[in-house]
Amino acid sequence: MKYLITLLVILVSLLTTAQELNEKMHELIKAERRSAHKRMQFKASQNTDNYDIKYLRLEWTVDPASDPASISGKVTTYWEVVAPMNTITFDLADNMNVSQVMQRGDNLAYTHNGDELIVTLPAIQGTGVLDSMTITYRGEPVSTGFVSFVQETHNGIPVMWTLSEPYGAMDWWPCKQDLTDKADSIDIFVTHPQFYDTQEYKTASNGVLVSETVNGSAKTTHWKHGYPIPAYLIAIAVTNYSVYHEYAYEGTDSEFPIINYVYPENLSDAQNKTPITSYIMEIFGELFEMYPYADEKYGHAELNWGGGMEHTTMSFVESFDRFLIAHELAHQWFGDKITCGSWEDIWLNEGFATYLEALTTEHIDGNDAFIAWRINTVFDITAESAGSVRCTNTTDVSRIFDWRLSYQKGAMVLHMLRYKLGDDDFFAAIKNYLSDPKLAFGYARTIDLQSHFEAQSGIELDDFLADWYMGEGYPSYWLQWSQDGDDAYFLINQSQSHSSVSFFEMPLPIRVNGSDGQSQWLRLENTENGQVFVENVSFPIISVEFDPEYELISRNNTITTGVKEIRIEHLSIYPNPSDDIISIEVENTNDAMIEIYSFNGKLVLNKEVHSKVERINLSGLSEGVYVVMVKQSDTVYVGKVAVR
């Protein structure tokens, strides 16, 4: 999913000052929260865990012109019993009215209790039993979350569409909404008036178009989807669509259709913009794997809502902006084929979709544009000092879809993994993830992605994910450098914007430049504060750049030089560890300063040096390891002391 706030931020940021941008952002976020408010306290029902959905036959009757907006339907659910049960529970908003629950010609008793429909089965069903029933209902759905069930107009013509992510399916049909169970396949039948005035309605939905049947003044469209699908990715849209076909892998054995349902008034605009879809499809196919639903179709259906939603095989979009096309297409692999196993892991959907937008930039616009994307993204992420990629409140729709954290930071964390592991292992691991039979067409948690990155690279990622998925904030680096012949010295200290991370262990990209246009990349494996690196650089360095291409999330970095030599062994500190007075031996007291830094890079003590053995009282410091530096104009001596 990608919503208006994203697009507006880009537009707004081009047009206004940072101050105005902040104010506009706040208005937008407030508006988003208001719309999300109704279902902010949603908790997935625990009472649907005892069955596994096998198949859904969804028969809906709608009229885009009806006032108020309404739906009537028959939902037939086939299930397999997971734990013995004598009732079966569905999620259904309390304002929807069930008129009948039928099984093999018999009416079943039911209660509609709050947002749960509980049907009493004729007998207890044991594990493994296969059964089905049909629920008949009607109602005037009240949209929650983003916009779960909508009727509006475009160019004076009525249009209706659904958009259920994350908790809105139950607003308009009896379903199992929890992220634990996909229906293995579905049939969708949508009946509506054939015409509005002289305009003929068409229905867009998931899967393959089987038939469009006219019966008197009504028209029924049958779509069939043969892949596992969760409730929130099932959707319908009805209006006087103009429909046109494009093809991916056109003229090859892999060819399949891309079907566009667009408003007639926007037809030529759409036809100008959608052809990029097949090109992006092939980029993703090359980087990852073939589009997962190639034997059905891909498609777009236009809607009014500001943004897009990756309904399986038929993304709903408000425009044909290239980034939106790329984002929703990316979700067909990341979100639809493999769905986040909890809304806590929403970055497995949104971080990937956002990163794949950026990969589209890398492949179509080139590396400089890709770097520009990273600069903007890091700038946005670090505009605030806190916040984790992990969604910490899954009942809050605006937190699940937090643009800065679930989308931008999620995408940059993927990019940092790419830098850390290298392109070969990074892309190979993602291919393995997508094709893992335990995950494909099912659900994944963050640990599943981690396992694939670790198995492919041999690199343990617990610390990385503790810092960058669970942890909040970002590092700020202080890099000091000097050169002596071919030896370049780097002293690196780091502080953190948030106390949840004590140290970000990262490889650091450093570029050193010489006066004759030479330049050399270094990769310094930074694992602790006060770390010193000696690197071979054969030309005189005139400048040093810290992560100039924004491979990492960081901000407020400082680079200083003028240090002739950095020695780590020379500084003698005793007793060590200590709990009060330490002595520091200083060879040359001339203009020397002692500075002591906590392990997270904060200066905790500094004083001038007056004697060759300086005594310092550390009893006021909390337990931990501290970095001690003795600085002169051309030399820095470094050591560590442990305080008990």
Residues at the site binding Zn ion, with contacts judged by CB under 5 A: 1-2, 350, 353
- CA 371 to mean position of chain CA atoms: 19
Cα separation of 43 and 93, whole Å?
13
**Closer of 353 and 416 to Zn ion (Cβ):** 353
**Closer of 332 and 496 to Zn ion (Cβ):** 332
**Closer of 326 and 501 to Zn ion (Cβ):** 326
**Closer of 139 and 410 to Zn ion (Cβ):** 410
Cα separation of 44 and 231, whole Å?
13
Instruction: State in angstroms the smallest separation of the CB of 330 from Zn ion.
Output: 8
Instruction: State in angstroms the smallest separation of the CB of 597 from Zn ion.
Output: 41
Instruction: State in angstroms the smallest separation of the CB of 535 from Zn ion.
Output: 41
**Closer of 1 and 314 to Zn ion (Cβ):** 1
Which ranges in 37-165 belong to alpha helices (H)? Answer: none
Q: Count of alpha carbons within 13 Å of 565, Cβ hemisphere only? A: 7
Instruction: State in angstroms the smallest separation of the CB of 149 from Zn ion.
Output: 20
Instruction: State in angstroms the smallest separation of the CB of 301 from Zn ion.
Output: 16
R_g of the chain, CA atoms, integer Å: 30
Give the containing element (helix H, strand E) for 583. strand 581-585
Q: How many CB atoms lie within 10 A of CB 395?
A: 15
Cα separation of 413 and 511, whole Å?
22
**Closer of 350 and 614 to Zn ion (Cβ):** 350
Instruction: State in angstroms the smallest separation of the CB of 339 from Zn ion.
Output: 12
Give the containing element (helix H, strand E) for 273. helix 267-273
**Closer of 412 and 630 to Zn ion (Cβ):** 412
Cβ proximity of 446 and 346 under 8 Å: no
Instruction: State in angstroms the smallest separation of the CB of 327 from Zn ion.
Output: 6
**Closer of 1 and 270 to Zn ion (Cβ):** 1
Task: Provide the token pair at 140.
Answer: 């005037």
**Closer of 335 and 471 to Zn ion (Cβ):** 335
Instruction: State in angstroms the smallest separation of the CB of 175 from Zn ion.
Output: 21
Strands 185-193 and 51-62: parallel
Q: φ and ψ at 47, to 5 degrees?
A: -90, 5
Inter-CA distances, 348 with 17, 448, 458, 532, 641, Å: 33, 10, 21, 36, 42
**Closer of 160 and 356 to Zn ion (Cβ):** 356
Task: Provide the token pair at 515.
Answer: 């006066």
Cβ proximity of 390 and 470 under 8 Å: yes
Give the containing element (helix H, strand E) for 639. strand 635-643
Instruction: State in angstroms the smallest separation of the CB of 606 from Zn ion.
Output: 49
**Burial annotation 623-635 (CB, 10 A radius, 16+ → b, else e):** eeebbbbbbbeeb
Instruction: State in angstroms the smallest separation of the CB of 2 from Zn ion.
Output: 5
Task: Provide the token pair at 429.
Answer: 């691991």
Cα separation of 99 and 72, whole Å?
10
Cα separation of 409 and 412, whole Å?
5
Cα separation of 185 and 187, whole Å?
7
Q: How many CB atoms lie within 10 A of CB 118?
A: 15
**Closer of 361 and 495 to Zn ion (Cβ):** 361
Give the containing element (helix H, strand E) for 119. strand 116-125
**Closer of 1 and 553 to Zn ion (Cβ):** 1
Instruction: State in angstroms the smallest separation of the CB of 467 from Zn ion.
Output: 24
Which ranges in 332-444 belong to alpha helices (H)? Answer: 347-364, 367-381, 397-400, 410-421, 423-435
